[in-house]
Structure 1
Amino acid sequence: MNAAAIRPRQRPPTHLLLALGLGTALALAGPVSGEEEGPIVTPPPAPEELTEGEPIEPTVRIIRREWATIEEFSIQGQIYAVRITPVVGPPYYLIDTDGDGVLNHRAEYDPLREPKIHRWELLRW
């Protein structure tokens, strides 16, 4: 046998294999025309704009007793300060200084100007 007569087996060109694979995939994908597609769905309305940096306003609940007037300061239902103004004597404050729900005594404090609570919300349900 002649060395020129023996040729190595040739592979088909890569671009032909790629074209054959893409053609098969497109044929299996289905029709391209829009006639056989389902109904067109309209997108939902845009969500409300979120406002960031809005100040959180405290809620003040006033309770009147015979011996004193009690003002509870809360934000989102959590009491962070209580001002007790007795009939006789100066007002005093009970303040949740570390957010654990325990109110501590303090002689002077302005709960509307400086609420000492954490103002971020990680999860709420």
Structure 2
Amino acid sequence: MRQSILLLACLLTPLAVRAADQPPIPPDVSGDATAQPEVTITREGGQMVEEYRANGKLYMIKITPKHGLPYYLVDDRGDGKFSRHEGLDSGLRVPRWTLFSF
């Protein structure tokens, strides 16, 4: 009898612990507006200008001319001085050598 009570207590203990340790439900953060950049699109003289802002600060401008490829003006350092980038290429060039030729 004593063993069956001990066995029953061992089997019911995890259920009691699990019921007591329910974590609170996390708040819904899917609707957070600050995670998405604000994009303002304007058309000037046949070209399209897209301004990207985060927390109200302009950090990138994409300019798509009427004829030609789009280019980007990016504020790399956050000081308000924009540098031009063709595509979003980082400019990193990995060295390549010909090791074997058949």
TM-score normalised to structure 2 length: 0.52
How far apart in 1 are the matches of 2:40 and 2:65? Answer: 16
> Which of 34, 38, 46 does residue 59 from structure 1 map onto?
38
Q: Secondary structure at the match of 2:35?
A: coil
How far apart in 2 are the matches of 1:109 and 1:70? Answer: 16
Partner amino acid, structure 2, of 1:99: G
Task: Write 1 or 2 for the structure with the bigger share of helix.
Answer: 2
2:50 aligned residue = 71
How far apart in 1 are the matches of 2:86 and 2:60? Answer: 12
| Aligned-residue RMSD, C-alpha | 2.2
Equivalence map 1:72-111=2 (5 Å): 72-109=51-88
Q: Percent identity?
A: 36
Where do 4+ consecutive residues of structure 1 move more than 4 Å? none
1:123 aligned residue = none
2:12 aligned residue = none
- What runs of 5+ residues in structure 2 fail to find an aligned partner? 1-26, 90-102
How far apart in 2 are the matches of 1:109 and 1:58? Answer: 17
Partner amino acid, structure 2, of 1:81: M
Count of residue correspondences: 59
Equivalence map 1:1-125=2 (5 Å): 56-109=35-88
Q: Which of structures 1 and 2 has the bigger CA Rg?
A: 1
Task: Write 1 or 2 for the structure with the bigger share of strand.
Answer: 2
Cα deviation per residue 1:77-120 (whole Å; 9 max; x = unaligned)? 1010000000011000000001111111000129xxxxxxxxxx
- What runs of 5+ residues in structure 1 fail to find an aligned partner? 1-48, 111-125
Cα deviation per residue 1:45-101 (whole Å; 9 max; x = unaligned)? xxxx8x7xx672100000111231000000111010000000011000000001111
TM-score normalised to structure 1 length: 0.43
